[in-house]
C-alpha cells in the first residue's frame, strides 16, 4: 500500500479522490435509471417482467414472481444446518440491541388544561431490497428486517434478483424467513425499486425502501425519494483504522482487506503516527492479498482508494479521521477509549484489537447499514427510528388558550396571515 505523509495538501487530495466514489458522481447512469423508473410506473408488471428478462435472463409472470412456501422450504434443505443456527443466533443479538432503541408515545398535561405530546407510529409497509448476482448477503437481510420488526412495521416485503431459472439464493430466503419477511419477490435492479415506489399489479407500493444495491439501485432510490422514504443512498464500502505504535500490524492489515474485498471502489485507509507500523502493515497487506480468493479485486481497490496516511501527531490523525468520516472506524491505539471520545464522525466505531469490523457486519448487534462517503458527518446507522414516524399532539382548553390568544393574533397579523388571526379571534367573540 502507498504510504503518504499527511499534510494539508495530501489530505485534500485524499478527500477529493474518495468523493469520486459517491453515487452523486455517476450522472451518466441517471438517464437509464430514469427511463426504467418511468417505464415501470406506466406499464407496471409488463415492464417489470421485461426488464427482469433483459437483465437477469429470467422469465417471470404474476404467477411466478412471488417466492412460494415450497421454495422457502427447499431453501432450508439447500444450506448447512450450521448456517441456519448462526443466522438464528445473529437475529437474537441484533434484536436485543435494537430493542434498546425503541421509542414510545408520551403526553404531558398541565392544570391549566393543556395536553402536549408525541405519538409514535410504526410505518405500515416497508420494502427491503437485497442484492443478488455475484454474491449473496443474508446478513443484510437481518440488518434491514430486524429493526423494522422491532419497530412494529405491519408488513415487510422484500425484492431480490433471481437467476435465469427463477431461483433466489437459498441463504437469502432462509434469512428472510427467520427475520420475519411477509412476502419475497424475485426482481432486482432499478426496476424493483420502481415497483416498490409506485406499485404494480404484483408488488405493492410501500412507505419506505431500505437496503443496499449497485449504482443503478442507489440512483433509483435517490430518484424515487419523495414518492416513498428511503434509508440512504449508499456508496461503496470503506474502512479506516486509526493506530499507533502499539497496534498489531497483522491485525490491522487483515482488517483493511476485509473491506477492500467488497468492491474495486471500496476504500481501505490506515491513519497512523508510526512509520514502522506503516511499513509493517504494507508488507502484511501484500502477503495476505497474494493468498486471498479475491486478490485481483482487492488489488484494484487498494491501488485506487487504499492509503496509509502517516500523521505527525495523534491530534493530526484524529483530525483527518473526522474529516474522512468513514463508514467503519477501528481504533487500535494505546488509550483507545479516550481517543474514541474525540471522534465526531464515523458510522460505527470498533474499539480495541479484538473488535474487528466483521464482528459488526454479522454478529455484535449494532446495525451494519452505515453512512458512507463522508455522510457520517450528518447521517446515522439504520435503526428502529427509520421505521417509525412521529405525530405531535396538541390539546388546549378555552381557559388555557385565553391568556395567550392575543399573542397568537399579534404574531399572525405580523405575517399578514389574517385568516390565521381570525381562527383564534372568533373563539373569543362576545
Residues involved in catalysis: 327-328
Which grid cell is 382? 439504520
Which grid cell is 223? 430518484
Determine the Cα–Cα distance for residues 56 and 192; give it in Å rounded to an integer.
12
Helical H segments across 180-313, by residue range? 189-198, 215-224, 249-260, 275-291, 295-305
Determine the Cα–Cα distance for residues 87 and 70; give it in Å rounded to an integer.
20
Q: How far is CA 371 from the centre of its chain?
A: 6
Query: In three state form, how does the secondary structure of 37-50 look?
Result: HHHHHHHCHHHHHH
| Residue 374 vs residues 238, 356, 379: alpha-carbon distances, Å | 10, 21, 9
Query: In three state form, how does the secondary structure of 88-129 look?
Result: HHHHHHHHHHHHCCCCCCEEEECCCCEEEEEEEEECCEEEEE
Determine the Cα–Cα distance for residues 277 and 127; give it in Å rounded to an integer.
45
Amino acid at each position: 500500500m502507498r504510504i503518504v505523509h499527511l499534510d494539508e495538501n495530501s489530505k485534500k487530495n485524499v478527500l477529493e479522490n474518495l468523493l469520486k466514489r459517491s453515487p452523486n458522481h455517476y450522472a451518466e447512469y441517471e438517464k437509464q435509471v430514469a427511463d426504467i423508473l418511468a417505464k415501470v410506473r406506466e406499464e407496471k408488471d409488463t415492464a417489470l417482467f421485461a426488464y427482469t428478462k433483459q437483465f437477469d435472463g429470467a422469465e417471470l409472470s404474476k404467477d411466478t414472481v412471488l417466492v412460494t412456501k415450497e421454495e422457502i422450504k427447499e431453501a432450508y434443505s439447500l444450506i448447512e444446518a450450521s448456517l441456519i443456527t448462526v443466522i438464528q443466533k445473529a437475529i437474537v443479538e441484533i434484536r436485543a440491541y435494537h430493542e434498546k432503541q425503541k421509542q414510545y408515545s408520551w403526553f404531558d398535561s398541565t392544570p391549566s388544561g393543556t395536553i402536549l405530546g408525541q405519538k409514535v407510529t410504526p410505518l405500515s409497509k416497508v420494502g427491503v431490497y437485497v442484492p443478488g448476482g455475484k454474491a449473496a448477503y443474508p446478513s443484510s437481510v437481518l440488518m434491514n428486517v430486524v429493526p423494522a420488526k422491532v419497530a412494529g412495521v405491519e408488513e415487510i416485503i422484500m425484492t431480490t434478483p433471481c437467476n435465469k431459472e427463477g431461483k433466489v439464493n437459498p441463504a437469502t430466503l432462509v434469512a428472510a424467513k427467520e427475520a420475519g419477511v411477509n412476502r419475497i419477490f424475485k426482481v432486482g435492479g432499478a426496476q424493483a425499486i420502481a415497483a416498490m415506489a409506485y406499485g404494480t399489479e404484483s408488488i405493492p407500493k410501500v412507505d419506505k425502501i431500505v437496503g443496499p444495491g449497485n449504482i443503478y439501485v442507489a440512483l433509483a432510490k435517490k430518484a424515487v425519494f419523495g414518492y416513498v422514504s428511503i434509508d440512504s443512498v449508499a456508496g461503496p464500502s470503506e474502512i479506516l483504522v486509526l493506530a499507533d505504535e502499539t497496534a498489531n500490524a497483522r491485525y490491522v492489515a487483515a482488517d483493511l482487506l476485509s473491506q477492500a474485498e467488497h468492491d474495486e471502489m471500496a476504500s481501505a485507509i490506515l491513519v497512523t503516527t508510526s512509520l514502522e507500523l506503516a511499513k509493517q502493515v504494507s508488507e502484511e497487506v501484500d502477503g495476505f492479498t497474494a493468498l486471498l480468493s479475491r486478490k485481483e479485486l482487492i488489488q484494484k481497490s487498494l491501488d485506487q482508494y487504499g492509503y496509509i496516511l502517516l500523521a505527525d501527531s495523534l491530534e493530526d490523525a484524529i483530525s483527518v479521521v473526522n474529516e474522512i468520516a468513514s463508514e467503519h472506524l477501528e481504533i487500535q491505539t494505546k488509550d483507545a477509549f479516550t481517543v474514541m471520545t474525540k471522534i465526531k464522525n464515523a458510522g460505527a466505531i470498533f474499539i480495541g484489537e479484538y473488535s474487528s469490523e466483521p464482528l459488526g457486519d454479522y454478529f455484535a448487534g449494532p446495525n451494519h447499514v452505515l453512512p458512507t462517503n463522508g455522510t457520517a458527518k450528518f447521517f446515522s446507522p439504520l435503526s428502529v427510528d427509520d421505521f417509525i414516524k412521529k405525530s405531535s399532539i396538541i390539546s388546549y382548553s378555552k381557559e388555557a388558550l385565553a391568556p395567550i390568544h392575543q399573542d397568537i393574533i399579534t404574531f399572525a397579523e405580523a405575517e399578514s396571515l389574517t385568516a390565521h388571526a381570525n381562527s383564534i379571534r372568533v373563539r373569543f367573540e362576545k
